[in-house]
Amino acid sequence: MNATVTYAIFAAVLGAVAGSFLNVVVYRLPRGESLLKPGSHCTSCATPIKPYDNVPVLGWIWLRGHCRACRAAISPRYPLVEAVTAALCVAVVLQHSSLAAALLGITLVLALVPVTLIDLERHIIPNRITAPAAIAAIVLGSALDWSGEPERLIAGAAAGGFLLLAALCYPRGMGMGDVKLAAVLGLLLGRDVAAAMLVALIAGVIVGLVVLARTPSADRRSVGIPFGPFLALGGLVALFVGHPIVGEYLHHLHR
């Protein structure tokens, strides 16, 4: 088996396990519950989930989406989050050849998945996700790619500063959580964060206009569209195709 396949399988397994933990984060963190205790349990009957049923993606499949104890339905969202996290981790490993780029990319994926779900559900982006992501970005970036760290710090400050201005001008549409998430994107993506911001703003404006157009005018004041998912979309686009935009793609073609 060649090295690439080995890395991909490794990334798939770790990504699925990480996705399983992210499901816990998405459910418990906004509720102020501990992420570690108690262990996974059915949200209907509170029966602890058996270790052999707690396998990412596969556990849900062989339980056919039902709790073994009370038969309550388990949302397909859980295996879906695990599968998507695994797929994104595999894509990062396959696309990024350097260890620094791969680990910064995986950090981005592991931050964006829970941020997207929590912001969609609750319209908040918790500091308990953005702060560890920022620390991981700076520690991993400095340790593995010291020469690229100034660019990432500048990109983080620029992206955060840009959204801070937007939040000051348009406080109903943008919050401090969005500002901090943009800074984290810069710390992880470097100059490619420009592509992320562009995609996020374009997608956010288009979806915002469509939602407003479909909302009766009396209700428009109460419409709140979280911006975090658009930043996440932009971050993923920049992660996978941002570099080609700034020329790395041509470099690879000519190698």
Q: Which residues bind Zn ion (CB under 5 A)?
A: 42, 44-45, 67, 69-70, 72
CB 181 within 8 A of CB 125: yes
Name the minimum Å distance from CB 175 to Zn ion. Answer: 36
Name the minimum Å distance from CB 26 to Zn ion. Answer: 19
Name the minimum Å distance from CB 33 to Zn ion. Answer: 18
Q: Which of 127, 90, 132 is nearest to 107 (CA)?
A: 132
Q: Which of 108, 110, 232, 234 is nearest to 177 (CA)?
A: 232
Query: Which residue lies nearer to Zn ion by CB, 40 or 85?
Result: 40
Query: Which residue lies nearer to Zn ion by CB, 6 or 75?
Result: 75
Indicate the helix (H) or strand (E) that contains 8: helix 3-28
Q: Which of 87, 78, 34, 26 is nearest to 56 (CA)?
A: 78
Name the minimum Å distance from CB 64 to Zn ion. Answer: 14
Query: Which residue lies nearer to Zn ion by CB, 38 or 247?
Result: 38
Query: Which residue lies nearer to Zn ion by CB, 67 or 111?
Result: 67
